[in-house]
Amino acid sequence: MIWKNIKDFFNSFNRNTIVTRKQYLLAINQSGRVGYTTPDVIRRYLTLGGYLRVMGRGRFGIVREIPSGLTLNQLRRDAYGRKSKKELEKEFASRPYDEDFER
């Protein structure tokens, strides 16, 4: 249930839109009380999987739409399966912030 709500939330925005962590957590918690760990872990998977980009502290840019049929297991494989976590973190940390994102 939470995974569907997260996909729906991020897919409701256009590409290159910036979303805050506060907006994200408020939207997810509307469907019932959810702790902070699970949404943050899933958001991290989405970042490593190339669907989101960290744009600063508590701000994330929408890079591409999350496919409706994507499962959490597939997302985990996208995030960690092809490269090691350290390789991915190094790769994403070296990317410059995009100036074409809406503020």
The whole model's pTM is what?
Answer: 0.73
The pLDDT assigned to 74 comes to 87
The pLDDT assigned to 69 comes to 93
| Dihedral angle of Cα 34, 79, 66, 17, to the nearest 10 degrees | 80
Give, for all 103 residues of the chain, the pLDDT tens digit. 788 889 999 999 999 999 999 999 888 877 666 666 788 899 999 999 999 999 999 999 999 999 999 988 888 888 877 666 677 677 767 666 665 565 5
Paired tokens of 82: 């092809």
Q: Look-up: residue for tokens 């958001």?
A: 43
Other residues' Cβ atoms within 10 Å of the Cβ of residue 80: 15
The pLDDT assigned to 78 comes to 83
Helical residues (DSSP H) of the chain, grouped into ranges: 2-11, 21-29, 37-48, 72-76, 85-93
* Domains recognised in the chain with CATH numbers: 2-93 (1.10.10)
Three-state DSSP class for 63? coil
> Cβ(59)–Cβ(19) under 8 Å?
yes
The pLDDT assigned to 97 comes to 61
